[in-house]
Amino acid sequence: MEKSSKQEQHLKKRPSAILSLMPIVMLVAMLTCTIRSFGSNALDGASQITLLAVSALCVLIGMGWLNVPWASFEKAIVKNVSSVASALVILLLIGALGGAWMVSGVVPSLIYYGLHIIHPGVFLASSCLICALVSVMTGSSWTTIATIGIALMGIGRAQGFDDGWIAGAIISGAYFGDKISPLSETTTLASGSLGVPLFSHIRYMLITTVPSITIALIIFAVAGFFCSTSSSQDIATFASSLGTRFNITPWLLLVPVLTGLMIARKIPPVITLFLSILLAVIFGLVFQTDAMREIDPSLFKAAMNSVYGSTALHSDNPMLADLVSTRGMAGMMPTIWLIICAMCFGGCMAAGGMVGGITRLFIHMVKGRTSLVGSTAATGVMLNVAIADQYLCILLTGNMFRDIYDREGYERRLLSRTTEDAVTVTSVLVPWNTCGMTQSTVLGVATFTYLPYCFFNIISPVMSVVVAALGYKIWRKPNK
């Protein structure tokens, strides 16, 4: 018995920090080469092969050096992929929603009215604020970006802003709301997994979140007046082209309004998205009959195609023709493929113990309040890179550091806040993370294109460390 126990103990070795970092280094190097070689076509297969190749390296290290059996890797991969099953269904519905809302005239109507209301000088700051408000009310950055975000992308492009600036403003606002909304799954997960009361967690997050979004809004407000934009004549021409191509009517705004009401009633996302697609298709058949017949003479086939396939409508304005072309559900397939490959990589990293090896590296750096928060934030960002799923990263970060915070005598709400500051908002900045892949696909903007402009997402983890260094409202638990 004693001999058997010793054999089990030596069956799996703990990887060193350097060995654990090898797959990350290889991933970054291969993705750099892939993106340089394939450009915007990297998501069509090259990035997926890269993730599988690095997954193979993890398995090689695990089985060759660490004595990890293949069954452990297989179990971890299956667990990871199954954990994102619902997200994959939502992604398909988001693709369908984008196609239905565009062809039905819902998004063109939002863009048309937005061009007449939002002045280019305040567009970036307004986009950030609008997405923040919608996301707070819905509790979902994904839903916010897939609906109002697409419309704001169209308005911004018509006004002549660069894609990076527009997407950065949209994402900054959407993730502000996702982070502090009591309806948000990430907010509930971060607080609940650590036993922190939800509203206590939210109030404590405001200390770092409000300064971060304020700085971001100031940057967007200043940039709005200095960015090169289209002339009033160009904007008017684009709006006129929209009015010619689509039947613009306030009735179409009922679709986003009813969708918002369903979200407010907390109807499950899958049901909400499905009903919103159905509404858009019905409104499209009523108000955009000519556009539907241009897609296919059979209205039934046109309606189906607008939901699942690629559509293109003729326009004398090249920008408008590009804007209204849609890919439907089919356009989400490369992203879904990438997510599955990313989950394989995350599973291999976890099964091989390499996630723990990276974490131990940061834990050894803890020597005080600032280094503790800094190590937590760095670990959260690193896990976003390594595991590629924000929900798993939130749980892992909390589990890894909870004992250290307890031992040092700090309240757990400091850990829950730091976890959200680091994990929730930076997930969208990683190209192979589920959030980064989704938002890049939905907005049609590469992750590395919008990354430098997501000021709220970049500032949040830094602000968490700054507040810790200042010691503002950071208390130790009273001794019992």
List, for residues 358-400, the tens digit of each pLDDT value.
767 767 777 778 888 998 898 888 888 877 777 778 877 877 7
Q: How many whole angstroms separate alpha carbon 414 and alpha carbon 235?
A: 47
Task: Output the pLDDT for position 6.
Answer: 43
Say how many Å lie between the first and final Cα of the chain, rounded. Answer: 43
Question: What angle do helix axes 185-192 and 163-180 make, rounded to 10 degrees?
Answer: 50
Between 298 and 28, the more confident residue is 298
User: What is the C-alpha radius of gyration for the chain, rounded to an integer number of angstroms?
Assistant: 24
Residue 3 has pLDDT above 50, yes or no: no
- Reported as a single tens digit per residue, the pLDDT across 100-146 is 888 888 888 887 887 777 788 888 999 999 889 888 877 778 878 88
**In the beta sheet, which residues pair with residue 410?**
476
- Reported as a single tens digit per residue, the pLDDT across 328-367 is 888 878 878 877 887 888 888 888 888 777 767 767 777 7
The dihedral through the CA atoms of 66, 69, 72, 74 has a sign that is positive
Percent of the chain with pLDDT over 90: 24
pLDDT, average across residues 416-438? 89
- Reported as a single tens digit per residue, the pLDDT across 212-235 is 999 999 999 999 888 776 666 666
Region of poorest pLDDT, from 169-173, 206-210, 266-270, 289-293: 266-270
Residue 167, both tokens = 């997407």
Report the 10 Å Cβ neighbour count for 457: 25
Helices (H) and strands (E) in the chain — how many of each?
26, 0
Region of poorest pLDDT, from 234-243, 280-289, 296-305, 339-348: 234-243
Task: Output the pLDDT for position 40.
Answer: 62
pLDDT, average across residues 416-429? 92
Residue 428, both tokens = 């969208």
Region of poorest pLDDT, from 210-224, 230-244, 306-320, 441-455: 230-244
Task: Output the pLDDT for position 476.
Answer: 76
Confidence band, pLDDT 50/70/90 cuts, at residue 165: very high
Task: Output the pLDDT for position 275.
Answer: 92
pLDDT, average across residues 417-433? 90
